[in-house]
């Protein structure tokens, strides 16, 4: 859990936009472009007018509010972007009688809504006004299909082989009601109201075609809360993401995305998302001495450096021994077991959210990690690593897998196209 999660990456600087002219001041969209030296030029034409018309001289949005991800592209948004401060995961099941036609109409509605909200515009129907005054705030909305979707829509022949159900693991304590689903939506943003606004719009768009199966809420550190960009910490206090694959890696696309010539054709440039709700047994974890916690993980808690020495990015010396002849990094340390070179090169792009859903009746916190990992094939990414962890990870005594899902996430929609169109109309 601690060694393969994405590090924070933020939008680069861009020049400011010139305000739109007009007797009544500038539009909200033009205002978004005046975010200052750290802001973004939105530059998108067309669409609805924004929530408000700001008077000339209004205070521009901050860099957090002005960040914008693009809906159209080679890949769907929400995969390679940096960790967002707030997230919602929601699964839907098609209602009885709804099939391919209704699913296509739903994905068309969802795509229109996602494109507009990610641009900082109002929802196309009955906008609630929840995100009024805010910018796009790096909102991303990502859509995927579960194993059951293909039977409900008569598309069994198009179901990818990689979407076969995950095997059972001994650490699983899965709640079936909070697992799987026909359709999956991932929402992330750097503002909680922007994220909730998107969740509400997506739920309303489902209409009579689909009903919510389960929904989970998560969070990460807010951008700018640290003096410098750094690897995120999880609720155990560990730096979580030191060895995550990076887009600059030569084999990144090969590991994370289905190739353009891959099978099935509609999954070209897509990816597979494994979603796990992993509860952290924090009361037990926090009773451990610092040194014991570090032995479980294999890294120092303060800075993420391997116990074999160096700093966070120093390669781990798995053969280094202590004065008594034992391994400095224990054989069952989480960071040792999850290494790709110990799992046949298996790697996945982890992009999680933490969660806290209150206190149980016995006083224990219901808190942990909404684990989301991306890979070109889960049978070569998640599954071999989880099997290895299942056989002797020291961290297993302090976590519990309570929900699970696997979803096929098609490539990005081209201009004028909706997500999943190549599957549903191919």
CA separation for the pair 83, 305 (Å, rounded): 21
Residue pointed to by tokens 């120092």:
300
> Is residue 296 a contact partner of residue 395, using CB atoms and an 8 Å limit?
yes
CA separation for the pair 371, 87 (Å, rounded): 12
- Contacts of residue 223, defined as CB under 8 A and 6 or more positions apart, other chains included, come to 8, 10, 64, 67, 82, 85, 190
Q: How many residues does the chain have?
A: 426
Considering 93, 190, 240, 393, which one is annotated as catalytic?
Answer: 240
CA separation for the pair 259, 406 (Å, rounded): 19
Measuring CA to CA, which residue among 142, 89, 413, 373 is closest to residue 423? 413
359 phi, psi to nearest 5 deg: -115, 130
363 phi, psi to nearest 5 deg: 90, 0
The yes-or-no answer on residue 127 being catalytic is: no
| Rounded to 5°, angle at Cα 85 from 377 and 70 | 60
Alpha-carbon 31 to chain mean position = 29
Q: Concatenate the DSSP letters of all residues of 332-361 into one string.
A: T-HHHHT-GGGTTT---EE--EEEEEEE-T
125 phi, psi to nearest 5 deg: -135, 130
> Is residue 336 a contact partner of residue 298, using CB atoms and an 8 Å limit?
yes
Residue pointed to by tokens 């009024």:
132
385 phi, psi to nearest 5 deg: -70, -45
Which positions are catalytic? 240
């Amino acid at each position: 859990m601690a060694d393969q999660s994405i590090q924070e990456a933020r939008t680069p600087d861009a020049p400011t936009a010139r305000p739109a002219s007009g007797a009544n001041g500038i539009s909200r969209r033009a205002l978004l472009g005046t975010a200052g030296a750290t802001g973004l030029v939105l530059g998108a034409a067309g669409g609805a007018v924004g929530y408000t018309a700001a008077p000339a001289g209004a205070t521009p949005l901050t860099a957090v509010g002005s960040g914008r991800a693009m809906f159209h592209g080679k890949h769907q948004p929400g995969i390679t972007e940096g960790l967002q401060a707030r997230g919602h995961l929601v699964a839907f099941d098609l209602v009885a009688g709804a099939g391919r036609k209704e699913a296509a109409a739903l994905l068309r509605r969802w795509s229109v809504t996602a494109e507009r909200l990610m641009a900082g515009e109002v929802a196309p129907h009955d906008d609630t006004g929840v995100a009024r005054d805010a910018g796009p705030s790096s909102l991303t909305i990502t859509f995927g299909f579960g194993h059951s979707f293909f039977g409900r829509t008569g598309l069994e022949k198009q179901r990818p082989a990689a979407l076969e159900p995950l095997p059972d693991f001994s650490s699983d304590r899965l709640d079936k009601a909070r697992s799987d689903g026909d359709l999956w939506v991932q929402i992330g943003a750097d503002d909680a109201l922007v994220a909730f606004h998107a969740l509400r719009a997506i739920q309303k768009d489902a209409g009579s075609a689909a009903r919510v199966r389960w929904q989970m809420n998560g969070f990460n550190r807010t951008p700018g809360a640290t003096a410098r960009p750094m690897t995120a910490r999880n609720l155990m206090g560990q730096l979580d993401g030191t060895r995550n694959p990076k887009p600059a890696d030569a084999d990144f696309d090969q590991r994370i995305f289905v190739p353009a010539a891959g099978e099935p054709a509609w999954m070209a440039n897509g990816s597979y998302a494994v979603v796990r709700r992993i509860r952290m047994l924090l009361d037990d974890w926090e009773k451990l001495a610092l040194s014991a916690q570090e032995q479980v993980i294999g890294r120092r808690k303060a800075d993420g450096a391997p116990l074999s020495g160096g700093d966070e990015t120093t390669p781990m010396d798995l053969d280094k021994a202590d004065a008594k002849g034992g391994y400095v990094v224990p054989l069952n340390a989480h960071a040792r077991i999850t290494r790709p070179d110990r799992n046949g090169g298996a790697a996945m792009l982890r992009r999680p959210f933490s969660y806290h859903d209150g206190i149980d009746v016995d006083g224990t916190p219901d808190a942990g990690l909404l684990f989301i990992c991306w890979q070109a094939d889960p049978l070569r990414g998640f599954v071999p690593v989880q099997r290895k962890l299942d056989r002797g990870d020291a961290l297993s005594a302090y976590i519990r897998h309570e929900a699970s899902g696997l979803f096929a996430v098609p490539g990005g929609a081209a201009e004028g196209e909706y997500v999943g169109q190549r599957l549903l109309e191919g």
